[in-house]
Amino acid sequence: MQISGRFTIAIHIFACIATFEDDYKITSDFLSSSINVNPVVIRKLLQQLKAAGLIEVKRGSGGASIAKPPEEITLFDVYTAVECVGSGELFHFHENPNTDCPVGRNIHSVLDEKLLRIQTAMENEMKSITIADVISDTKRYISENNK
Amino acid sequence: MQISGRFTIAIHIFACIATFEDDYKITSDFLSSSINVNPVVIRKLLQQLKAAGLIEVKRGSGGASIAKPPEEITLFDVYTAVECVGSGELFHFHENPNTDCPVGRNIHSVLDEKLLRIQTAMENEMKSITIADVISDTKRYISENNK
DNA sequence: TTCCATTGTAACTATTGATTTTACAACGAA
DNA sequence: TTCGTTGTAAAATCAATAGTTACAATGGAA
């Protein structure tokens, strides 16, 4: 199973805002045409990012902007804002191991710590990459490929 | 989205075999009653683990066993054997960024390397944990909780 | 004040993938 | 030959994502 496309879409949103905010009003329609997903999907995502304090959205007049310095927004922030995994658990554990079985009774104790270690390794790497990195790389690529 | 429960089920299978192989024949029914999932699900998983060279299964008479030293089987081996993520990509990328947009045109170049770094961090942690670790912890927990 | 582009949100559909279940042929040991 | 078991296909179910339509609420501009 893969991590939802909402994650890469959300990052794409940040890159678009940073690249175009001086020249365009960043509406959900504008974003939707760069990303090629339905504007309503974008709006829902913007809501989630707003709730996490990462993005500001203007009602009425319209337009989205980044709510705090991009150096202070990590990919982990975006990931948690956007993934609906309520529990925050990366791994799905089979629900009902048989507690009458010595292995079934202890499998959670054995695995939980190991799974958490794996999840933490991933999350730490996410925390080491910021939206500022994404933005500067985006600008670099754009100028390299002239325009 | 979470990583499929097949992963924890597969690890549970190894723990069961190691714990019970001296006293019981490890059939899909036996495993299914410890894990509490349908025996057919177990059999399909056993097939995947067999294809990866991690498990041996006897037809006819029945019974599963571990195909090589548990120290040589990492959680990453189990993960790749069992996850159907064909491409091996942890992150789902939105399919059709608009190539007429400078950001849409470059977003893959910008992100692919970063996403891979995150995925690799997770996989490396998986490689650092072996089935032997799981087995010894399982036995320790069982003896601590007396039986 | 009215107009209008836009947001926020609900509701519905479609699609995809995981999971469960039923069923049965093939196998191998007793 | 019998019996417990595996290997596998097919169908049914269920959950999550994604796409779509629709529309009230907003706020700036005419």
pLDDT at B86: 56
Shortest distance between the Cα of B28 and any Cα of chain A, in A, equals 15
**Residue B84 scores a pLDDT above 70:** no
Q: What tokens were used for B43?
A: 């059999």
Percent of chain A exceeding pLDDT 90 equals 77
Taking only Cα atoms into account, the Rg of chain B, rounded to an integer number of angstroms, comes to 19
User: For chain B, what are the domain ranges?
Assistant: 6-86+130-144
CATH of span A6-85+130-144: 1.10.10.10
Beta-carbon separation of B16 and A115 below 8 A: no
Which residue of A lies nearest to B140 if distances are taken between CA atoms? A110
With 60 as the cut, is the pLDDT of residue B76 above it?
A: yes
Q: Yes or no: say if A100 and A91 are a contact pair by the CB < 8 Å rule.
A: no
Identity at A7, one-letter amino acid code:
F
Query: Which residue is closest to A141 within chain B, CA to CA?
Result: B106
Do the Cβ atoms of B95 and B19 come closer than 8 Å? Answer: no
Judge contact between A10 and A78, C-beta under 8 A.
yes
pTM of the model: 0.89
User: What CA–CA distance (Å, rounded) separates B10 from A5?
Assistant: 27
Tell me chain A's radius of gyration from C-alpha atoms: 19
State the smallest CA–CA distance between residue A59 and chain B in angstroms.
25
- What are B5-28's pLDDT values in tens digits? 899 999 999 999 999 999 999 999
CB atoms within 10 A of CB B131: 25
Q: In the structure encoding, which two tokens stand for residue B28, read together?
A: 């899909």
Identify the residue whose tokens are 């705090």.
Answer: A68
Instruction: Indicate whether A58 pLDDT > 80.
Output: yes
The first and second tokens of residue A77, run together, are 């922030």
Q: Which residues pair with B56 in a beta bridge?
A: B65
Given the candidates 1.10.3720.10, 1.10.10.10, 3.40.50.300, 3.90.228.20, the CATH classification of the domain at B6-86+130-144 is 1.10.10.10
